[in-house]
Amino acid sequence: MHKAIIAKITETTPIPGADRIHVAKVLGESVIVSKEWKEGMVGVLFPVDLQLSEEFCYHNNLFRDSEKNKDKTKKGFFENNRRVRAQPFLKVKSEGFFADLSCLDYLGGIADPSVGTTFDTINGKKVCEKYISEQAKIAKGNNSVKAAKKSYAPLFEKHVDSEQFRHYAESIQNGSILYFHHKVHGTSHRQSYTLVDAELPKWKQLVNKVVKIFPEQKWEHVVGTRNVVLRDKSKEGHHGSEQFRFDVAESIKPYLEKGMTVYGEIAGFANGRPIMPDHNIKNLKDKRYTKKYGDVVRYTYGCKEHEARFHVYRITYLNHAGKNVDMTQAQMEKWCKDRGILTTLEVHPPIIYDGDVDKLRELVDTLTEREDVLTEDYLDPSHISEGIIIREENGALTPKFYKSKSHAFRVCEGHVEVPDEETIN
């Protein structure tokens, strides 16, 4: 969900040598704000990788080029692409853009200014959207003809996006059942026994336009990455040959019934190389971590070279209306257990959410950070944990998923920077 969020400053920290700005904590993110802004202030958080609208930047004088601003005497810090980036100010990285609610005055304000409200449009006017680079736009344009064609496997849906827990905790419904599972650091995989378009010769297509004689769909086993349907085993992907995905698929294929789709994570090795890149533990600037893990962490999850493991985290099936409906967590776990298939590891018993968001945040933080064991991974203690996934079942046909990544992992991934002053000797 690429939207702005109404949020509150929960704490502020001074920046050495800075007279006019300090660091504010907003929904777990560190953002640079004016020293006039104090704890408890409510405003708008624009997370990293959003793109602000041109109109929004114009009315709020945010362009670095003052000629593009409403007030030509004022200068902001956004380039022409208006991308919200993680960027350093006096060696402190700001992980988003936080603005006063008055930034929306030019639109007449927002109807619901309560904490947790998300939006990308107000009164029909675009405020922000997902940032897409010019190169990606060009590539998308080149593929527009292909995109216009009917999907080969129209019912083979992508996995739903997992939202950042720290951003969307307030949106979790009271009374929901929440499940807490270890987040595997690997590559997304999906497969299905689903209806696909039958490739009919032109004469059969012409006949069908007059009277439907020839079947236009057939049942077929389909394999895919998170975003791509793989029809060719020899296809080269980010990890080289995609054969390893078809190898995983073969172990699940015998159990798939018509209309079932299985989603999961593949970890370990592919084509003799680690699926995920190594992390430099020195980036944490904490000798306790290098003593425990060494200088570099490799995410093997106990696999030997040329081995991989697959963890299922979601299963759907088609109902009579042609809609994909999710198995509950309990149904999915039972289905996998009966067939000897791995699911993700439960790290805390499920709870019925009572609406106490502060208590929930504390629980998630404890499960994510594991400070007593230096963020040790739940499955493989030889490397740090990426974090956890929270699954929300609230009666809808599709559950919601929230990710909570550990601070140590985010640092190693390059999303958070540890200043030299915080080095532990």
**pLDDT of the residue at 149:** 45
**pLDDT of the residue at 197:** 87
Give the residue-averaged pLDDT of 160-188.
Answer: 93
Residue 272 backbone class (left: φ over 0; alpha: ψ -120 to 50; beta: rest)? left
Terminal CA-CA length for the chain: 40
Asked whether the predicted pLDDT for residue 150 surpasses 60, the reply is no
**pLDDT of the residue at 136:** 64
The rounded percent of the chain whose pLDDT value lies above 90 is: 66
**pLDDT of the residue at 268:** 95
Looking at domain 155-422, what is its CATH homologous superfamily? Answer: DNA ligase/mRNA capping enzyme (3.30.470.30)
Give the pLDDT confidence of 239-263 residue by residue, as tens digits.
888 999 999 999 999 999 999 999 9
**pLDDT of the residue at 424:** 37
pLDDT band at 269 (very low <50, low <70, confident <90, very high): very high
May I ask the CATH class of domain 4-135?
mainly beta
Between CA 49 and CA 177 the distance in angstroms is 31
- What are the domain boundaries of the chain? 4-135, 155-422
Give the pLDDT confidence of 53-88 residue by residue, as tens digits.
999 999 999 999 999 999 999 999 899 999 998 877
**pLDDT of the residue at 377:** 97
Give the pLDDT confidence of 315-368 residue by residue, as tens digits.
999 988 888 999 999 999 999 999 999 999 999 999 999 999 999 999 999 999
Return the minimum-mean-pLDDT range out of 7-11, 151-155, 284-288, 389-393: 151-155
